[in-house]
Amino acid sequence: MGIPINVKVNGKEYSQEVEPRQLLVDFLRETLRLTGTHVGCDTSGCGACTILVDGNAVKSCTLLAVQVDGAEVTTIEGLSKNGDHPLQEGFKEEHGLQCGYCTPGMIMAAADLLTNNPNPSEQEIRHALEGNICRCTGYHNIVKSIQYAADKMQGKEVSHG
Amino acid sequence: MIPSSFEYHRPASVSEALQLLQQYGEEAKIMSGGHSLLPSLKLRLSEPGHLIDISRISDLSYIREEGGVIAIGACSTHNAIGKSALVQEKIPMISQAALAIGDVQVRNRGTLGGSIAHADPAADWPASILASEAEIVVAGANGTRNIAAGDFFTGIFMTALEENEIITEIRIPIPPANTHSAYLKFPQPASRFALVGCAVMITRSNGSVERARVAFTGVSPSAFRDNAVEEAITGQAVNADSIKAAADKAAEGVDIMSDHYASQDYRKHLAKVYAKRALMAASN
Ligand SMILES: Cc1cc2nc3c(=O)[nH]c(=O)nc-3n(C[C@H](O)[C@H](O)[C@H](O)COP(=O)(O)OP(=O)(O)OC[C@H]3O[C@@H](n4cnc5c(N)ncnc54)[C@H](O)[C@@H]3O)c2cc1C
Ligand code: FES
Ligand code: FES
């Protein structure tokens, strides 16, 4: 039995019927066709499915779609209009990705961090990424990418590569 | 992985939630943050016919001071508690325990009430809930009752909660002045649950320990207060020797868990090390 939900995703209002057991990540990927949010583990461990719900980073494989009724959701597709958010630019400039599988989740977790702590130390960045796993990069360039974005968002000069 | 089908209910009040519990009985399951429950529904370890989502009940999410007590609504998230200025000022150990849980995504959803109801033997909360001598307020069909933390955790995934009862509030006494507290854990590297977690609260007067509370999680099937460590440090001046002597008494005579993460001997060793570190941290 479907139940109605109203949810704002990336600025757009949706009124939809969902099956109560539908996972939020499946609602995003399959119903709304927002496939930028990835599923790595499906067991709350890897962070690839990280999105923002009312501004807070959460793992969308561990929420039901019905739980975001009335909430505001932001996925990687909604972070910027043209893919030019300072975090997206940072990951490009600092080579923060290889295969890219973990990247949307990394960026959304970093977005939560920079909202709460605009000028994080390296240690604070690493701590904030505890819930996100990358099998390619060794994390070093991911940390640099986030430092780049933090600098840029504070109007500091950014060094390239 | 997709859970079995269920009907979803979102009651607006505790009394409505209790009615639903009465109505659906064994078929029903309460959901708060869903961060223990949903993983188990996805694995179909649990297949309730009715899910009662209490997370939106507004009078279950608050943190406030009430005459010598910090009252925390059961659905307050780990992150809200960890970041609360009131909690950080009055009982740092509680904030440290909250922020030691999992990762930021988990802390944004998981709740204090859900964690203690679940009573995972490796959960972080039980140690500091015991050390702070909190009270757990529970609502049921016959009204509310308060359960002392010391009576609450009864075994592995077992608590003093009766069927169809809901935790509504956790009440943590604000400790006397000259009290310092700390929670430290050795995280299991993959899950970040506590292999061993130690919560310590020390009240001093004239340089020596007047009152000590020490509790462990992760060590035995149920979190416990370690009276031997408490007694050994009480009355002592606080220094490296007295702390080491007290910490060496940790986890004596308790049923210590052993699994593929850590043997009994290793857990016992970690208990002593973390007792020492937490006592040190609470002595500054
Ligand atoms: C990836 C990951 C890592 C984690 N790491 C840690 C960690 O390091 N340390 C740690 O301590 N925990 C950890 N957790 C568990 C997390 O803290 C959970 O949030 C917590 O154990 C359960 O709280 P919840 O609000 O999500 O409860 P739910 O999942 O909603 O519920 C859990 C159980 O409690 C019952 N329940 C919930 N609320 C109430 C209530 N108010 N009254 C009565 N019964 C209730 C439910 O019916 C259910 O049986 C982790 C979880 C995940 C997914
Ligand atoms: S897919 Fe959600 S945490 Fe891995
Ligand atoms: S870039 Fe491949 S998993 Fe992170």
What tokens were used for A12?
């757009």
pLDDT of A161 strictly over 60: no
CA distance A150 to chain B (A): 19
Residue closest to B63 by CA, chosen among B49, B46, B45, B75: B75
What confidence category does residue B63 fall into, taking pLDDT thresholds of 50, 70 and 90?
Answer: very high
Task: Choose, out of B5, B103, B106, the residue to mutate when testing the contact with A (most A CBs < 10 Å).
Answer: B103
pLDDT tens-digit series, residues A13-31: 999 999 999 999 999 999 9
pLDDT tens-digit series, residues B167-183: 999 999 999 989 999 99
pLDDT of A40 strictly over 60: yes
What confidence category does residue B190 fall into, taking pLDDT thresholds of 50, 70 and 90?
Answer: confident
In this predicted structure, what is the pLDDT of residue B136? Answer: 98
Write the DSSP symbol of residue A29: I
What confidence category does residue A155 fall into, taking pLDDT thresholds of 50, 70 and 90?
Answer: very high
Computed over every residue of chain B, the mean pLDDT equals 97
Ligand 2 atom 3: residue of nearest CA: A44
Q: Which atom of ligand 1 is nearest to the CA of B74?
A: 41
Q: Provide mean pLDDT across the span A123-135.
A: 97
pLDDT tens-digit series, residues B64-115: 999 999 999 999 999 999 999 999 999 999 999 999 999 999 999 999 999 9
| C-beta B195 within 6 A of ligand 1 | no
In this predicted structure, what is the pLDDT of residue A1? Answer: 65
DSSP symbols for chain B: --PPP-EEE--SSHHHHHHHHHHHGGGEEEESS-TTHHHHHHTTS---SEEEE-TT-GGG--EEE-SSEEEEETT-BHHHHHH-HHHHHH-HHHHHHHHTSS-HHHHHH-BHHHHHHHT-TT-SHHHHHHHTT-EEEEEETTEEEEEEHHHHEEETTEESPPTT-EEEEEEEEPPPTTEEEEEEEEE-TTT--EEEEEEEEEEEETTEEEEEEEEEESSSSS-EE-HHHHHHHTTSB-SHHHHHHHHTTTTTTS-----SS--HHHHHHHHHHHHHHHHHHTT-
Please, are residues B97 and B125 in contact by the beta-carbon 8 Å criterion?
Answer: yes
| C-beta B249 within 6 A of ligand 1 | no
| C-beta B138 within 6 A of ligand 1 | no
3-state secondary structure B74-91: CCCEHHHHHHCHHHHHHC
Across the A:B interface, residue pairs with CB atoms under 8 Å apart total: 77
Alpha-carbon B131 to chain mean position: 10
Q: What is the ipTM of this complex?
A: 0.96
Q: Determine, for residues B105 and A42 on separate chains, whether the beta-carbon distance falls below 8 Å.
A: no
Parts of chain A belonging to CATH 1.10.150.120: 86-153
In this predicted structure, what is the pLDDT of residue B249? Answer: 98
pLDDT of B43 strictly over 70: yes
Q: Provide mean pLDDT across the span B134-146.
A: 97
Measure A106 CA to ligand 3 centroid, in angstroms.
9
pLDDT of B34 strictly over 90: yes
In chain A, % of residues over pLDDT 70: 98
- As a CATH number, domain B7-52 is 3.30.43.10
The neighbouring-strand residues paired with B196 are B186
Searching chain A, which residue's CA lies closest to the CA of residue B47?
Answer: A21
In this predicted structure, what is the pLDDT of residue A157? Answer: 85
Write the DSSP symbol of residue A46: S
CB-based contact, A42 to chain B, within 8 Å = yes
So where are chain B's domains?
7-52, 60-173, 179-281
The fold of the B179-281 domain, in CATH, is: Enolase-like; domain 1 (3.30.390)
In this predicted structure, what is the pLDDT of residue B82? Answer: 98
pLDDT of B192 strictly over 80: yes
Ligand 3 atom 3: residue of nearest CA: A134
In this predicted structure, what is the pLDDT of residue A160? Answer: 63
CB-based contact, B109 to chain A, within 8 Å = yes
Please identify, in words, the CATH class of the domain defined by B60-173.
alpha beta
| C-beta A137 within 6 A of ligand 3 | yes
| C-beta A27 within 6 A of ligand 3 | no
Searching chain B, which residue's CA lies closest to the CA of residue A59?
Answer: B105
Write the DSSP symbol of residue A34: -
Q: Which of A28, A59, A132 is the pocket-test mutation for ligand 2 (most atoms within 8 Å of CB)?
A: A59
Measure A64 CA to ligand 2 centroid, in angstroms.
13
Q: Determine, for residues A67 and B2 on separate chains, whether the beta-carbon distance falls below 8 Å.
A: no
Pick the CATH number of A86-153 from 3.40.50.620, 1.20.140.10, 3.30.70.2190, 1.10.150.120: 1.10.150.120
> Check: CATH 3.10.20.30 for A3-77?
yes
In this predicted structure, what is the pLDDT of residue B37? Answer: 98
Residue closest to A46 by CA, chosen among A101, A116, A87: A101
Q: Provide mean pLDDT across the span B233-237.
A: 97
In this predicted structure, what is the pLDDT of residue B1? Answer: 87
